[in-house]
Each structure stands twice: as structure tokens, then as C-alpha cells.
């Protein structure tokens, strides 16, 4: 008689490897073979995971077609098992998997398109936060400004790609018909993916702004975060950036020097000078 | 009494919210009991484990109008792993935000050695499994600070070393852990068909005082087995069994699970009306 743990291990192995038959010995046949009974669960589980991947990666599916998507998904699923009881957390490594999936080698942008769809998925479910109240910055001592750490909205994701993945994504939306063709040689993109209200938006941003947002996302203090931004564009206008990104809730808070959080409240009149 | 919604409402939320509100309004119009809070919706809690955004905003809108039951599919009460602390914390946060009337999970397991299969897998009914499930139900109830209901699942296989009948197992889980039982009448019917036991024996073995909610659903027949698909009308034989359950357990919150191949509103309302009629008939008989 197997222990419960032994049974569970054998059962799960059988779910992802039909040639692993150890669990069959524990199952009553009852007029139907044990293997066939286990296959009901295996088919159900694979169906659920394929459906979960289809929900998160509709553009990838459209680019490669249903049959190829299923082929790729069925190879991905056993190699990257779910680690959570929440199915929404499943599928985060699909982009990296596709990038090194030899049958997909002809679509070099596929991995980045999948990455964009995962960013969209994460952004959709991320926490809500109020926009940054710029008034709060007035109370910060001038000497502390260089060490400010700005917080991005929890739904913000930053993604750079050598391919025009935003246009590929747009052209493959159910209602995205206005883009008929995408020039793959159009050059690199730097994208900010974030939610405004309930709607996820994908915005192409400049090199300097992307560098600054990426530095904020890593918790880099303002003074150091600005260096790569100015290196990318010496005329980068930080004040305009601050006003715009506070009002669209990309920035939601800031932390002064140590760990004192100075958030929040609805945004009021912007307009102070920080630099 | 009834409200009807799918476990995976999030996937259909745009249309479903409207539909839900229509059903709810219609039911309020027809049923004075609704005003006493009998009306509600049941939602698969994992669909709302995200930290924010549209799913939770819709959920809050529904909650503002109707009682909610949070129905879990991912806690894995029968796992030989520890319960997932993050999952319990997410559940606690969602309960605090939504204040559901009922919180339920399944008598099954879905993970081992850190690997999840996100499906409702059957347990062997042994003393060892009973200890594991009771300890986890107790831990879950302690973590969220309230009683949960545990639901019997449909299953397609049994383990040859099981020593306890499922009805005695679930009754013992309730007795030892203090949880309530969510009795899924369709699941009893499906498992009874698949293994050849008497569904009435199951109903009669469950302690009425422990039963806190009933479920109904439709099944499909495939390769000689009944499969719990939640995608069709409730079968006549299951309605009959439901009538007997109402007789045994009284008027309880009841939910028709329908979360694939969603029907028209008219079909849902017919199903709800059938359930209401069976309750009224039983009450009339009892009076």
C-alpha cells in the first residue's frame, strides 16, 4: 500500500508522462482500465493548461496558428509545471521557451511578442494605486531630492525589443485591422505597459524616458536614475516627464532617503521644480 | 434562493456581470426570500487573487448588490505538502475585501512536491488521508478565522487501498475539523454511476447538521463514464436526488454550476425555477 505522498508523486508523474505507469497499480479497474481512468485526468489537465496559455497568449496563437500553438504548449507544459494553485500564475516562462524552441526559429520576434502578452496579463491583474500627488514633493527638503526613489504603479512593466512588437501586437488584435503590414526592420521599440483604470495600455516611449523608468523600477535614487536618461538624450525634460507621468498614474509615490513612504492621495496641481 | 454562476466567471466577466444582475433582479422580483439575503453569487476565488484591476472592480460591484460565496479550487486540502501560505494570505485578503457569506473548498488534492496540476484529484479514503485533510482544513480555518465548507468532487477513479466510504470520510472530516459540508448532488450522482454505489446511501449517511450548501450541475457521458462538465442542464435523475436532499437537509443555499457552454438567460432561469419548485414541493409535503 503506497503512502499518500508516494501515491501523489506517482499520480502527478503519470499526468505529465503517459509512459510512467507506476500510478496504475493503485487504481481500481472497475470495468475500465486504470490507464484509461488516469488518462481522463491527464487530458483534463492538459486541456486546462492549453486553455490558460491560449487566454494569455492570443497573439502568439494567431501568429503561429492553432495547431502549432498546441504543439508548442504540449511541450512547454510538462517542462514548466505550475507552482501555484492559481492558474493565472501559470505560463510566465513561455516567452523564454518559445525563444529557444527550434521549430519556431523562423519567427525571431515570437519570444518578445509572448513577453509583451505576459506583461499585459500581469498588468491586468496588478494592484490598484492612486496617482502621485505632486504637492507632496514640496515638503521634501531640497537636500533630499537627489536621493528620492520614485515608485511606479504596480501595473507598470517595461519591455524593450529589437522588433516592432507593439505593431505586431496591434495588428493581431481582434479589432486591430488598421495595421495591414508590419515592417520587421522598423527598428527597436521601448514599451511601457501599464493599466489606467481597468484598461491596459501599451505605449512606445523614448530612450531617455525608458532608461529613467527602468531605473525607477529598480529603485535607483533620482540623481543616479537621471544619468542614463541624460546620457541617452541631453535635452531630456525631466519636469515635463514628472508632470505627465504623475497625472497618468505611471508614478504613484516616492520614498525619501530611508524607508519613509510619502504617498498618496489624488493628484492635485503639479508644477514644482525638482531639478 | 438561487443564483447561478460559473466558477470561471472572470473569463466571461464583461457579459456575465450584466447577465448576473439580470438574473438577480429577476429572482428578487419573483422571490421575497431574496430580500432576506438568500440570493447570491458564487465565484471561483482564484479568479480574484489578482491584486487589483477589472476582475476585482467587477467583483466589488457584484458584492455591493448581492451576497457572495467564494468557492476555491486551488488550496489542495489533501496534499502531503504544507498548505501554500501565499494562497492562504491571498484568500484572507480577498475575504477581508469582499466579506463573503460562505467560503468553500474541495475534498481533493491538486499539488505535491511544489508542483500543481490545477485540477481536482481524488484522494484515497484512508486514515492517513483523513488526518492530512483534517489538519489542513483546521489550518485553513485558523488562517482565515472562519469556518469553511468542503465539497465532495466528481471522480473517475478509485484507489484500491481505500478503506473508508466517501460519505463516511467527508462526514468524519466535518466532525473532526468543524468544517461544514457543501454537498454537490451532481457529483454524488456522477460518482455513484461511475462506481456503482447507491447515491441515496450517500445522502443518508451525511449528517444533516453539517450540510451548509448544495450544488447542482450538468454532466456528459463519455466512454461509459459520467463526466462533470458544468456545461449542460441538470439531469432528471439529479433533480430527483436534489428533491430528496432538500427533504433531508432542508432549505439551504443552492447553486447551479454552469461555467462552460453558457446557456441563454432563459435556460438558466428555467433551471432556477425547477429548483425553487422542488424546494416548495418538499416544504409543502413537510408542512
- Per-residue pLDDT tens for B202-241? 999 999 999 999 999 999 999 889 999 999 999 999 999 9
End-to-end Cα, chain A, rounded Å:
72
Averaged pLDDT for residues A168-197: 88
Instruction: Give yes or no for residue A256 having a pLDDT over 90.
Output: no
Residues B158, A127: C-beta atoms closer than 8 Å:
no
pLDDT value, residue B34: 35
Instruction: Give yes or no for residue A57 having a pLDDT over 50.
Output: yes
B89 to chain A, minimum CA–CA distance in Å? 13
Instruction: Give yes or no for residue B17 having a pLDDT over 80.
Output: no
- Per-residue pLDDT tens for A94-126? 999 999 999 999 999 999 999 999 999 999 999
d(CA A236, CA A241): 9
Instruction: Give yes or no for residue A267 having a pLDDT over 50.
Output: no
- Per-residue pLDDT tens for B110-143? 999 999 999 999 999 999 999 999 999 999 999 9
| Test the A interface: residue of B109, B159, B197 with most A CBs within 10 Å | B159
Q: What residue ranges do the domains of chain B occupy?
A: 9-286
Considering only A158-172, A231-245, B17-31, which range has the smallest mean pLDDT? B17-31
Q: Which member of A11, A81, A85 has the closest CB to residue B46?
A: A85
Beta-carbon neighbour count of residue B199 at 10 Å? 21
Instruction: Give yes or no for residue B35 having a pLDDT over 80.
Output: no
Instruction: Give yes or no for residue B20 having a pLDDT over 50.
Output: no
Collect all residues of chain B within an 8 Å Cβ-Cβ radius of residue A55.
11
Considering only A42-46, A164-168, A179-183, B109-113, which range has the smallest mean pLDDT? A179-183
Q: Which residue does chain B place closest to A122, by CA atoms?
A: B50
pLDDT value, residue B40: 57
Averaged pLDDT for residues A68-85: 96
Residues B195, A30: C-beta atoms closer than 8 Å:
yes
Q: Which residue has the higher pLDDT, B70 or B46?
A: B70
Collect all residues of chain B within an 8 Å Cβ-Cβ radius of residue A36.
223
d(CA A109, CA B77): 42
pLDDT value, residue B10: 37
8 Å CB contact between B70 and B115: no
Q: Give me the phi and psi of A107, to 5 degrees please.
A: -115, 80
Q: Which member of B80, B158, B161 has the closest CB to residue A1?
A: B161
Quick one: pLDDT band at residue A177, thresholds 50, 70, 90?
low
Instruction: Give yes or no for residue B28 having a pLDDT over 70.
Output: no
d(CA B224, CA B92): 41
Set of cell numbers at residue B166: 466517501
Q: Which residue does chain B place closest to A196, by CA atoms?
A: B53
User: Strand pairing of A157-161 and A149-152?
Assistant: unpaired
Averaged pLDDT for residues B50-79: 89
B9-286 CATH: 3.20.20.150
Set of cell numbers at residue A88: 493565472
Instruction: Give yes or no for residue A176 having a pLDDT over 80.
Output: no
pTM: 0.88
Name which CATH class applies to A128-275: alpha beta
Q: Which residue has the higher pLDDT, B5 or A15?
A: A15
Average pLDDT, chain A: 91
Averaged pLDDT for residues A54-67: 97
Q: In this structure, which long-range contacts are made by residues A87-90, counting pairs with CB atoms below 8 Å and at least 24 apart in sequence?
A: A87/A48, A87/A52, A87/B46, A87/B74, A87/B118, A88/A52, A88/A121, A88/A125, A88/B46, A88/B47, A88/B49, A88/B50, A90/A49, A90/A52, A90/A53, A90/B118
Considering only A68-72, B18-22, B126-130, B167-171, which range has the smallest mean pLDDT? B18-22
Considering only A3-12, A255-264, B83-92, B243-252, which range has the smallest mean pLDDT? A255-264
Instruction: Give yes or no for residue B48 having a pLDDT over 90.
Output: no
pLDDT value, residue B15: 41
- Report which DSSP code applies to B161: T
A8 to chain B, minimum CA–CA distance in Å? 6
pLDDT value, residue B41: 65
Amino acid at each position: 500500500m503506497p503512502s499518500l505522498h508516494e501515491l501523489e508523486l506517482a499520480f502527478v508523474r503519470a499526468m505529465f508522462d503517459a509512459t510512467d505507469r507506476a500510478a496504475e497499480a493503485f487504481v481500481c479497474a472497475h470495468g475500465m482500465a486504470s490507464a484509461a481512468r488516469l488518462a481522463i485526468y491527464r487530458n483534463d489537465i492538459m486541456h486546462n493548461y492549453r486553455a490558460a496559455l491560449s487566454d494569455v497568449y492570443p497573439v502568439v496563437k494567431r501568429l503561429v496558428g492553432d495547431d502549432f500553438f498546441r504543439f508548442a504548449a504540449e511541450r512547454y507544459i510538462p517542462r514548466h509545471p505550475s507552482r501555484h494553485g492559481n492558474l493565472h500564475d501559470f505560463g510566465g516562462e513561455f516567452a523564454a521557451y518559445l525563444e529557444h524552441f527550434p521549430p519556431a526559429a523562423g519567427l525571431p520576434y515570437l519570444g518578445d511578442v509572448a513577453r509583451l502578452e505576459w506583461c499585459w496579463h500581469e498588468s491586468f491583474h496588478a494592484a490598484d494605486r492612486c496617482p502621485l500627488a505632486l504637492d507632496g514633493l514640496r515638503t521634501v527638503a531640497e537636500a533630499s531630492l537627489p536621493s528620492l526613489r520614485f515608485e511606479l504603479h504596480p501595473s507598470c512593466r517595461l519591455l524593450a525589443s529589437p522588433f516592432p512588437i507593439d505593431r505586431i501586437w496591434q495588428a493581431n488584435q481582434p479589432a486591430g485591422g488598421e495595421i495591414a503590414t508590419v515592417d520587421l526592420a522598423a527598428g527597436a521599440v521601448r514599451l511601457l505597459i501599464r493599466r489606467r483604470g481597468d484598461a491596459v495600455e501599451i505605449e512606445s516611449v523614448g530612450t531617455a524616458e525608458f532608461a529613467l523608468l527602468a531605473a525607477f523600477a529598480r529603485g535607483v535614487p533620482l540623481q543616479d536614475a537621471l544619468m542614463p536618461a541624460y546620457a541617452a538624450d541631453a535635452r531630456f525634460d525631466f519636469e515635463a516627464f514628472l508632470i505627465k507621468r504623475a497625472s497618468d498614474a505611471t508614478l504613484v509615490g516616492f520614498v525619501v532617503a530611508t524607508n519613509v513612504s510619502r504617498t498618496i492621495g489624488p493628484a492635485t496641481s503639479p508644477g514644482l521644480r525638482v531639478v | 434562493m438561487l443564483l447561478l454562476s460559473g466558477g470561471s466567471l472572470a473569463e466571461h466577466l464583461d457579459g456575465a456581470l450584466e447577465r448576473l444582475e439580470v438574473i438577480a433582479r429577476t429572482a428578487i422580483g419573483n422571490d421575497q426570500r431574496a430580500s432576506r439575503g438568500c440570493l447570491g453569487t458564487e465565484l471561483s476565488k482564484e479568479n480574484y487573487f489578482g491584486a487589483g484591476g477589472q476582475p476585482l472592480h467587477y467583483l466589488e460591484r457584484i458584492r455591493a448588490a448581492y451576497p457572495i460565496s467564494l468557492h476555491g479550487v486551488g488550496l489542495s486540502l489533501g496534499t502531503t505538502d504544507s498548505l501554500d501560505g501565499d494562497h492562504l494570505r491571498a484568500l484572507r485578503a480577498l475575504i477581508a475585501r469582499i466579506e463573503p457569506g460562505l467560503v468553500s473548498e474541495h475534498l481533493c488534492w491538486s499539488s505535491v512536491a511544489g508542483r500543481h496540476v490545477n485540477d481536482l484529484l481524488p484522494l484515497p479514503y484512508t486514515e492517513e488521508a483523513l488526518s492530512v485533510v483534517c489538519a489542513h482544513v483546521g489550518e485553513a480555518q485558523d488562517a482565515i478565522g472562519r469556518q469553511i465548507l468542503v465539497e465532495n468532487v466528481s471522480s473517475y477513479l478509485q484507489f484500491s487501498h481505500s478503506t473508508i466510504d466517501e460519505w463516511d470520510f467527508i462526514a468524519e472530516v466535518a466532525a473532526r475539523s468543524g468544517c461544514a459540508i457543501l454537498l454537490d448532488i451532481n457529483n454524488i450522482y456522477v460518482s455513484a454511476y461511475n462506481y456503482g454505489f447507491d447515491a441515496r446511501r450517500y445522502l443518508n449517511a451525511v449528517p444533516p447538521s453539517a450540510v451548509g450548501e448544495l450544488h447542482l450541475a450538468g454532466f456528459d457521458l463519455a466512454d461509459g463514464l459520467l463526466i462533470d462538465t458544468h456545461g449542460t442542464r441538470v439531469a432528471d435523475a439529479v433533480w430527483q436526488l436534489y428533491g430528496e436532499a432538500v427533504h433531508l437537509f432542508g432549505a439551504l443555499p443552492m447553486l447551479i454550476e454552469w461555467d462552460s457552454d453558457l446557456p441563454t438567460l432563459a435556460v438558466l432561469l428555467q433551471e432556477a425555477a425547477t429548483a425553487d419548485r422542488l424546494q416548495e414541493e418538499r416544504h409543502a409535503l413537510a408542512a
